[in-house]
Structure 1
Amino acid sequence: MRVIAWLVEGTWPACVDAVRAHAPATADVALLHVSEPDVPGLAHGAFAGLLGRGHPERDPGNRLEDLGSASAARLLDAAAERLGGPCTRLERIGHAERQVVEAARGAGLLVLARDGDRARLGPHSLGPAGRFVVDHAPCPVLLVWPEPAPDVTTLPPPPPPA
């Protein structure tokens, strides 16, 4: 069985711990990190349009790409160490939610952490990216809280009687 763990800064330890706790010992584990291309692209555009005519070596977009790649590599290294077993490291660039759904094609399980309001139970505990992945994943999904789940007293009120 192939297990994909979508790793995001700040919540990745919970995903790795969930893989350790719930994936079969024989699972083919892939640790996935997705970098958004927007920030380096904006820097490239600003530099080219305003500052950088004739000096491509000073383009800050290149530096941002390098920093993003190094940060992703460090996160994947830390996650692999925490996992403590064999795994594949996947690093993708693009719209995170679409890259995650694509990576989950053919997987037996996708593990991800809540990416919204984590102070209370309810639908807002999933942000737009997490909601998209949960709604479109082509495999079973294990959705984890990055920290202990809020108390059930945080449930939204019931709908009014009809």
Structure 2
Amino acid sequence: MNWKTYLIAQAFGVAAFNTLCNAAYTAWIWRDEPVLSLDRIGSDLAMTPVWIGLLSVLLGTPFIRKALADGRMIGEARQRPHPLAILLPRNLLIRAVGIAALCGMLLALPLALILPQLGDGLLTQVEAIGSKAIITVAFSLVIVPLVAYATIADVPAATGGRASR
């Protein structure tokens, strides 16, 4: 499997998993006796990209590193990393917090500002679940490949081993 196929498989697999988890969570939060009132759904929806960024790094990076170490991806070491990928720390926890912070600033903050203006408090439970699923799929298909690509970029072309920082 080449790295492009792996990125696509990761993105769709994680998007499906994230969507199922988020839909179930949203259905639980806004059940017959809601844990949170529906007028607070904008805050929950806005935090979705932060959680996707955090979990994509914490859960995805070890799997990608294992696939690279096992040689399951062909040609990945010949890829030249993007300069931004080089700036990411290799430490898993620091990388996860950094990606989550970026997702918060670039994605969650605009959502938190826009959703109340769109009338997020008027959503029904079904609309809330659907909105959460759509946001989850959209952001998973953006964030997961970027995180995976950054992890692939950690492998230098010459040795196939880990890059030193």
TM-score by length of 2: 0.29
Which has the larger helix fraction?
A: 2
Determine which structure has greater relative contact order: mean sequence separation of CA pairs < 8 Å that are 6+ residues apart, divided by chain length: 2
TM-score by length of 1: 0.29
Greater Rg over alpha carbons, structure: 1
